[in-house]
Amino acid sequence: LRANYQPSSIEAASIRSSLDVITRDIATYDAEIDSISLILSRLKEQREAALRMQSIASSLLAPIRKLPVEILTEIFKQHCLKEMALFRVHFAETFGRTMPPALSVASVCRFWRNIANSNAFLW
């Protein structure tokens, strides 16, 4: 290629024929890549769905679900008492852009929200 070689007409015809084959091969590769890309995309979507289901199933078996409401309430109370002092300092620094501890607890799930809302001392 670096020399100034000019192929003969027979060589040029052979090169053109090879180019046609190569062009068809590239088109075949592109079609296969598109097909595989579609399969890969579907597999990634299915994997993400399976990961979501795994997370949900795992959370259903979490040990914290076995704790009685009274113990959760005490945990929340201790957490809120400890965090409230930090919250007041942080609140003053950020002009209210943080979430109070009881609200963060209440934001986890409906069950925790019901516990937090039914215990005024958390607020």
Q: Which residue has the tokens 């852009």?
A: 97
The reported pLDDT for the residue numbered 85 is 66
Q: What is the pLDDT of residues 9-67, one digit of tens each?
A: 999 999 999 999 999 999 999 999 999 999 999 999 999 999 999 999 999 999 989 99
Q: What is the pLDDT of residues 85-101, one digit of tens each?
A: 666 555 555 555 566 77
The reported pLDDT for the residue numbered 121 is 78
The reported pLDDT for the residue numbered 82 is 79
Q: Would you say 105 and 84 are in contact if contact means Cβ atoms under 8 Å apart?
A: no
Domain residue ranges of the chain, discontinuous segments joined by +: 7-61, 66-122
Chain mean position to CA 101 = 26
